[in-house]
A and B are shown apart, each in its own frame.
Chain A
Amino acid sequence: MKYVDEFRDPKLITKGAEEIRRLADPNRHYRLMEVCGGHTHAIYRFGLKDVLPSNIELIHGPGCPVCVLPMGRIDDALSLAMDPDVIFAAFGDMMRVPGTHGSPLEHKARGMDVRIVYSPSDAIKLAKMNPQKHVMFFAIGFETTAPSTALTLQRAKAEGIHNFSVFCNHVTIIPAIRAILDSPDMRLDGFIGPGHVSTVIGCRPYEWIAKNEHKPIVVCGFEPLDLLQSIVMILAQLQKGEAKVESQYKRVVPWEGNRAALKAMADTFQLRPYFEWRGLGFISQSALRIRDEYAEWDSEQRFHVPGIRVTDPKAAQCGEVLKGVLKPAQCKLFGKECTPENPVGALMVSSEGSCAAYYNYEHRKANLVTSLSSPA
């Protein structure tokens, strides 16, 4: 399969791993953060930790939009969707995410009209097909998915679709990285930069990380070879004592980003003064709200939102895991009270969350004794 197989070529992967071994100083411990949940998932999915030397530690970052969404936001949206005239539409990612009284899927089982959509424009289609109902699209994601929500808002306005609104939870990646770097217990050597987000925002917004924080950041694709090559690029910078923004994912990411997408976002969204991130707390100017010009299509402006706040159980150490201070399995609840089926904390919720990825792909490997390689 084109654009996939060549990036999973075992020979090249082995070569990449050798290159990493050559560049890594055996007397040094490297802590690299992959910002994006997609990378966390890929690292576990492809078993890349098995091929990396032990002095390269990957810290899983905050880039899983489902994980960092406070439970109160889900409760708020589901409380609006209790109205039998409302259809609650969301991506599949959201369907098993628990609110206080259960996930959207569990609400569906109790009779709520919950639909899985594959793009926000599918939600518009739903609104057209159900003119007597109100379709509320639960929008989630970083700058990766925000442009498609923006275009959908523009379309709803242009076509005068009045039985449709967006419950907007879009967040932005840069303030989250800043929050991580501001954390006093955080020591990082470099960043594996987000791939999909950067197709929209480009590479320039990361320049302060290199300039002010003196950390290398390499924007990276999602295949095994992409990740290994990015680690090679970071190590090469560290070896030379450099700190700059580089793109390994040039086949997809334009340096300046996607101007049309950014324009659509600027037209429909503005920054919220602050927004709560699950596990990280309130971060200023870190999320998007819908502009007043689109108030009619903003669920929060159109309906009365209760503004529910739910704090995570004290025993859940999501914040520490999110910042890389603790490994998933070091949390007291991991694999006991907190599992992918019954997630207590944020990072167990989505398969891109570091706890869920670790639980699903890794933790039973811990006691492995036999050789793992497959026959040629």
Chain B
Amino acid sequence: MAHGAGGKASRRLVEGLFAPLFFGASAEPLADAAHLNINGARMAVTTDSFVVKPLVFPGGSIGELAINGTVNDLAVSGARPEAIVVTFILESGLPTDILQHEIQAMADAAQYAGVRIAGGDTKVVEHGKADSMYITTTGLGTPLPGVEINPQSVRPGDKVLLSGPIGDHGITILLARGELDMEGDLESDTRSVCPLIEAVVAAAGTGIRWMRDPTRGGVATSLNELARDCGLGVVLFEDHLPVHDAVRGACELLGLDPLHIANEGQFLAIVAPDLADAALGSLHSMPGGAEARIIGEVREQPACSVLVTTSYGGSRIVDMLVGDPLPRIC
């Protein structure tokens, strides 16, 4: 199956197989977290599984990802993360100190994000399975007042806001696997984006139409999903995209596009034009938000697509990722 890399295949799997059977005809556009109304109480819920090799990499580890990933899914759905439950699938024979390191990393990340770990479960599978450790986290949150995330509310003229540089996480993992004879001064961007989201909601709440954390499949995949859900075009300005030189260099060498590379500590927001500057300003005033940029805007055309334009007048369509990004050599 090529369905794990977060691109086209993942979406087809979810839309084609899971959604019709789980949600029936009432299926809504896919979002990062479901917002429910249970007996009058509004809550947001999401779940995510984490499989990464190596477990520890520059800038973070699987435990930190497992908390931040779920926290961020709640945050970009317009909710304040409140509690998380954790499931570990552990490979028999896993050294205790490795597990302890990850539990500590999760505790620290949860504390930083202000979210309570409310429970969990552990299963041990036989040696040779589960790549040492898989972690699943399920998060509960309370919807933030005054913000409504809905791709259908996106309008031509809206601005595309990005919280910071792209590709750091994906390229860090690629280099940390040690299969490439390449080194780079680079760290994963894994972090909770809650403080940034709260700032942007406070500054431009009613103008925020849509948010997403561009994890697997990168910015290109998230924005293609938006374009298809709202039927409009997303036009990006290439020279406005924040990309660190180490990421650009690695992408140039390997024939990859930074727009397809995974991020673990960034988010995209579509903001009404009159509130875009306020939203951007609110991020710039926050720690970790200095590199936020307006990277593009929504237009009528090209419908259901993402187009990248350059300042010299060239342009290209950027599609969702198909499968994992594979380096080009020959």
Contact = CB atoms under 8 A, between A and B. Distances in A.
Interface of A: 1, 4, 10, 13-14, 17, 41, 44-51, 65-66, 91-93, 95-96, 105, 109, 116, 118-119, 122, 140-142, 144-145, 224, 340-341, 350-352, 360-365, 367-370, 372-376
Given A93-B330, A352-B328, A375-B237, A10 B305 contact: no
A241 B322 CA distance: 46
Q: Which of B181, B235, B252, B311 has the most CB of A within 10 A?
A: B311
B93 interface: no
Given A17-B312, A51-B312, A367-B301, A105 B330 contact: no
Contacts of B316: 44-47, 360-362, 365
Interface in B1-37: 1-2, 8-9
B241 to A, nearest CB: 11
B311 A92 contact: no
A372 B238 CA distance: 12
B131 to A, nearest CB: 16
Contacts of A45: 316
Contacts of A1: 245, 248-249, 252
A242 B256 CA distance: 39
Q: Which of A1, A145, A367 has the most CB of B within 10 A?
A: A1
Contacts of B319: 360
Given A66-B330, A144-B330, A376 B311 contact: yes
B185 interface: no
Contacts of A375: 237
A374 B311 contact: yes
A45 B307 CA distance: 11
Q: Which of B2, B314, B323, B326 has the most CB of A within 10 A?
A: B314
Interface in B200-257: 235, 237-240, 245, 248-249, 252, 255
- Say what secondary structure dominates the interface of chain B: loop
B317 interface: yes
B326 to A, nearest CB: 3
Nearest to B240: A374
A374 B322 contact: no
Given A48-B314, A66-B330, A373-B309, A351 B255 contact: yes
A116 B237 contact: no
A238 B309 CA distance: 31
B186 to A, nearest CB: 14
B302 A365 contact: yes
Contact of A92 (B238, B312, B329): B329
Q: Which of B245, B311, B312, B322 has the most CB of A within 10 A?
A: B312
A351 B328 contact: yes
B180 interface: yes
B217 to A, nearest CB: 14
B326 A51 contact: no
A47 B301 contact: no
B258 to A, nearest CB: 12
Contacts of A41: 255
Interface in B145-186: 179-181
Contacts of B9: 341
A47 B249 CA distance: 20
A14 B287 CA distance: 38
A372 B307 contact: yes
B323 A372 contact: no
A362 B329 CA distance: 23
B310 A10 contact: yes
A92 B237 CA distance: 29
